[in-house]
Amino acid sequence: MGRTGGKGLSLARRLYTSRILGLVLGLLCVSVAMYPLDPPAWVWAVMLFNGLVWPHLAYQWARRAKVPYHAEHRNLLIDAFLGGFWVAAMHFNPLPSATTISMMAMNNVAIGGARFLLAGAAAQLLGVGVGLVVFAPALVPMTTPAQLYACLPLLMLYPLALGWICFRQAYTLGLHKRELLALSRTDSLTGLLNHGAWKDQLEVEFQRCKRQQSGAAIALIDIDHFKAINDTYGHVAGDIVLRQLSKMLKQNLRLADVAGRYGGDEFCVILPDLPLFNAVQAMEALRERFSFLVYEQNPALKVSLSIGLAALDPAQGDATRWLDDADQALYEAKAGGRNRVICCSDDKPRREVFDSV
């Protein structure tokens, strides 16, 4: 119900301006067509009410309704009914009648598609029927030059206004779609790519390196004794540690590097076009800087990192094998005492240990 209400209020606001413009221009079109017919005063009063008062009444009616979305659809059907009524009142004068019908149809198809277009057409036919009962059936087969010129503002300006509204709506929807896509790929706590999005990027980078025969490295980073940090200092402190690491990754990595949260206390980094030796230097610098961080809420807290690195090996059949090498290097870093960087080289069968303890 809440989402329908929000959607309905947004629809009512969008249609408010276009309804004011359309009905004011429609008032000009209909009044010039009605003037030669010398209608009674009450017809002029209804005409003025429809053109000048109804747009504001319709907006307030929809805004105060329990379900504004449904109320605005009702208002559009009332618009269509009144349009049909004025077609009969004008004795089917060709250009004003066609203009009125087409503008109403444009509204309905823009808001509700073919189904609502048919509902609007039925409302127009009902309006024509009521108009034929109220006014003597007659036909005005010719449109005068004055009536033609009175229709031109509606024909020219209203489609422009409706097109602008549709463009703004499409632009806003596109923006929201991009934002939702970004949110679906982002870890909410750290702001880095989430597990799935990072693995997608890993596959892309693996294929690129294979095509271009270029080098790259990946790093898996584990926060040492993270469970003990949560147990000792609390989960809030643990979240702060995670955010600090993500912040340091953003500040110290290159623009081309791709960092993500692999899960829990593990992070992952793709280092494209970077030799393994330089990747080791970058990760060693990260490990050292992170170990010196001071946490204001818990000054006694000291946190270290274990990092496993793997260079891209031409013999690796897929990105999963590449990731497995980095994971094995990380396992050895933790098994060897933690707080260190261990790498798996593409040209050495044994892993080199960069011990920092």
Which of 6-10, 79-83, 121-125 shows the lowest mean pLDDT across its residues? 6-10
Q: Residue 313 pLDDT > 70, yes or no?
A: yes
Mean pLDDT of the region 156-168: 89
Q: Which domain holds residue 214?
A: 195-355
What is the share, in percent, of the chain residues with pLDDT greater than 90? Answer: 71
Residues 157 and 212 in one domain: no
pTM greater than 0.75: no
Tell me, yes or no, whether 117 and 154 share the same domain.
Answer: yes
Determine the Cα–Cα distance for residues 131 and 46; give it in Å rounded to an integer: 13
User: Does one domain contain both 223 and 290?
Assistant: yes
Give the CATH number, domain containing residue 334: 3.30.70.270
- Clarify whether residues 160 and 17 are in a common domain: yes
173 and 45 share one domain: yes
Show which of 183, 211, 227 is a domain's final residue.
183
> Which of 133, 158, 183 is the last residue in one of the domains?
183
Instruction: Using pLDDT thresholds of 50, 70 and 90, give the confidence band for residue 348.
Output: very low
Asked if residue 293 belongs to a domain, the reply is yes
Q: Give Cβ neighbours of residue 62 (< 8 Å, ≥ 6 apart).
A: 8, 9, 11, 12, 68, 71, 72, 75
Residues 47 and 148 in one domain: yes
Q: Are residues 168 and 199 in the same domain?
A: no
* Structure confidence by residue, pLDDT tens digits, 164-201: 888 888 888 888 888 888 888 899 899 999 999 999 99
Domain membership of residue 119 (yes or no) is yes
Does residue 76 surpass a pLDDT of 90?
yes
Residue 190 domain-assigned (yes or no): no
Same domain, 219 and 168: no
When pLDDT is averaged across residues 229-248 and rounded to a whole number, the result is: 93
* Domain membership flag for residue 189: no
Same domain? For 178 and 220 the reply is no
- Same domain, residue pair 160 and 223: no
Are 206 and 172 contained in the same domain?
A: no
Is 64 in the same domain as 201? no
* Domain presence at residue 188: no
Number of domains in the chain: 2
Q: pLDDT per residue over 199-214, tens digit each?
A: 999 999 999 988 888 8
